[in-house]
Amino acid sequence: MRQLDSIHGRFDAVVNLWHSFGYFDDATNEEILRQVYAKLRSGGRAILDVYNREHLVSLPSAEWDERGGTRFEARRTWSGSRLTVTLRYASGGSDEFEWRIYAPAELSEICSSAGFLPILSCALFDDSLEPSADYARMQFVLERR
């Protein structure tokens, strides 16, 4: 992801789903957006599907959940705008993830700084829902000018 400029050619679209953006420091995340911009043809679009910090800060620091028959505890810790989630499975083992979590206005600003024209922001893949603290995920559709 940090070496998109090594991929030859230009593209009509770049799609980044399920919060696969924000793993690096702010400068690197912004450089990735500039590289995405550079890989797009004029009028090309990028779609970012990311978590909304305004929602996630309201979640409890720990909770049990079950998905697909797997029971786990999710523990959340914040360091500024970075979130670490540790999943501890009832059957044993754990996973840990850490990202830079953006608020809608922050993400819009860095996308514009990278050259993009934000043409749509929404929540839950529904263009009638604005990103807000009510929704965990938000999507941005960005166009290369």
pLDDT tier for residue 1 given thresholds of 50, 70 and 90: confident
Angle made by CA atoms 137, 37, 26, in degrees to the nearest 5: 60
19-23, 82-86, 132-136: which range is least confident on average? 19-23
Helix 26-39, helix 104-113: angle, nearest 10: 60
Structural domains in the chain, CATH included, are 4-52+102-144 (3.40.50.150), 62-98 (no CATH)
Asked if 142 and 55 count as a contact pair (C-beta separation under 8 A), the reply is: no
Selection from 59, 70, 16, 23 nearest residue 40 by Cα: 16
What the block records as the tokens of 2 is 């940090």
Predicted local distance difference test score (pLDDT) of residue 6? 83
Inter-residue contact 82 to 96 (CB < 8 Å): no
Report whether pLDDT(2) > 80.
no
Whole-structure pTM value: 0.89
Percent with pLDDT over 90 in the chain: 91
Interval 73-101: pLDDT, tens:
999 999 999 999 999 999 999 999 999 99
Q: DSSP 3-state assignment of 55? A: helix
**Above 90 in pLDDT, residue 58?**
yes
Average pLDDT over residues 2-9: 82
